[in-house]
Amino acid sequence: MEAFIVEGGYRLEGSLRVDSAKNAVLPLMAASVLTPEEVTLTDVPDIADRHSMAEILSILGAKVTPTGRGLTISSGGLHNWEMPDRLSKRIRSSIFLLGPILSRFRRATVTYPGGCEIGLRPIDLHLNGLRCLGVSIHEEGGLIHCDGTRMHAGEIHFDYPSVGATENVMMAAALLPGETVIHNAAREPEIVDLQQMMNRMGAKVRGAGGQTICVEGVKALHGVTWKPMPDRIVAGTLLAAAAITGGEIELTDAPVSDMVAVNAKLREMGCVLHEEPHRLTLTAPRRLTAFAQLQTQPHPGFPTDMQVQMLALLCASEGTGVVVENVFENRFTHAGDLNRMGAHILCSGRTAVVRGVETLYGARVTARDLRGGAALVLAGLRAQGVTQVDRADLIDRGYDHLEKQLCALGGKVTRIEA
């Protein structure tokens, strides 16, 4: 197992380009199944989830070829609609292959992707959405058998604006004659990116980014070359790294317009940010000021994927702040390790109260999910002494060699075999 060794006390300075977004790349890779023609995604980060998704697609019969910093998917040879159990459990995003595979084969079998550290991760909204499109679903022994032979356009109302379920239904409806309407759709920017690529492939999707998405079915989709949108969560994580070290950094190719909530919270903590359409700079004070409260919400609210990084910033800030996690039921799993580094975090259910301390201390800690692992690295950047963050593999799921990115900004982070 690999670990990160983080030497604290180095101010981050410099400039970095933001990679394409994991949470855009994964649904875009799934959407490649909607056409037998080649889909090329340029500039895809070297992250574990990309490779897992590529492996699943290959097992289904698609051909996935790395092309420079990107990849090309040819799913003309797709012959299998049964998602491999061991892989579909490894990444949750395999569930949104369901829609495209049903669209292509009118049949699909998938295992429950299973929960993870941050919550149970049910898929009821995905399955109900597909049922509204005429898919009959039979669950047996952890397997989900879908029969789409009588699929039709339909009207869906999501009880909760689920990102994955919205993406799944968008893709499932793309080739269904008639108009499908999705009410209370998720509004995340990655869904807009998916709509734009699908339309470039010949689909007729409109409304992404809003609460109602309409999909007019077409006969077929064709290939496309597409650059996925930049990663607003990696960008936010790098800004947080500069903020916790009292640093000053520039990010280029950044999705600035998708970072309003995060940038506002960093300003509330005393950071000075200058924004341009695809570039921004952050200058942090020596010590941050605690924000009064942070509530995670579906987009455009504060993103849950940036919650634990902000919790880490609070730990070393002046004052006391409250964090409420409204999206996932168990996303404070890293509070214990942060407290072992000298933080004062009190958790109760979905609420954490943090009294900031002047000094954090290096310790040996363990990542439990990719965002929490990144937050432990951030705390290590601030801490006195050396911090070892075990399970670097979990961080690698969504960060392309985080240690190299932080070192490029003057941090001292190395990867070891623990």
Binding site for ligand EPZ (CB under 6 A): 22-23, 26, 92-93, 119, 121-126, 160, 162-165, 186, 304-305, 327-328, 370-371, 398
DSSP string covering 247-264, please? -EEEEES--GGG-HHHHH
Active site residue 116: yes
> Inter-axis angle of helices 189-200 and 163-173, to 10 degrees?
10
Decide if 252 contacts 16 (C-beta within 8 A): yes
In this complex, which beta carbon is closest to ligand EPZ, that of residue 236 or of residue 411? 236
Q: CB-wise, 5 or 30, nearer to ligand EPZ?
A: 30
Buried/exposed code over 187-202 (b: 16+ C-beta within 10 A; e: otherwise): bbbbbbbbbbbbbebb
Residue 317: exposure state from Cβ atoms within 10 A (0-12, 13-18, ≥19): buried
Nearest residue (CB) to ligand EPZ, 38 versus 190: 190
User: Which CB atom, from 90 or from 371, has the smaller least distance to ligand EPZ?
Assistant: 371
Catalytic site residue from 116, 214, 347, 407: 116
Contact 402, 28 (CB under 8 A): no
Q: How far is CA 311 from CA 20, 281, 321, 372, in A?
A: 25, 22, 9, 10
Report the DSSP beta bridge partners of residue 344. Answer: 355
> Phi, psi (5° rounding) for residue 37?
-85, 170
- Residue 221's contacts (CB-CB under 8 Å, 6 or more residues apart) are 34, 35, 37, 174, 175, 198, 201, 202, 203
* In the complex, least distance from residue 279 CB atom to ligand EPZ, rounded to whole angstroms: 23
Nearer to ligand EPZ, 26 or 101 (CB): 26
Phi, psi (degrees; rounded to nearest 5) at 278: -130, 20
Q: How far is the CB of 269 from ligand EPZ (least distance, A)?
A: 22
CB closest to ligand EPZ, residue no: 164
8 A C-beta contact, residue 39 and residue 32: yes
Q: How far is the CB of 116 from ligand EPZ (least distance, A)?
A: 8
Based on C-alpha coordinates, what's the Rg of the chain? 21
Query: Which CB, 281 or 297, lies closer to ligand EPZ?
Result: 297
Q: Token pair of 126, please? A: 């995905």
Minimum distance of ligand EPZ from residue 310's CB (angstroms): 14
Q: Tell me how far, at minimum, the Cβ of 307 lies from ligand EPZ, in Å.
A: 9
Q: How far is the CB of 93 from ligand EPZ (least distance, A)?
A: 4
Query: Would you name the residues annotated as active-site residues?
Result: 116
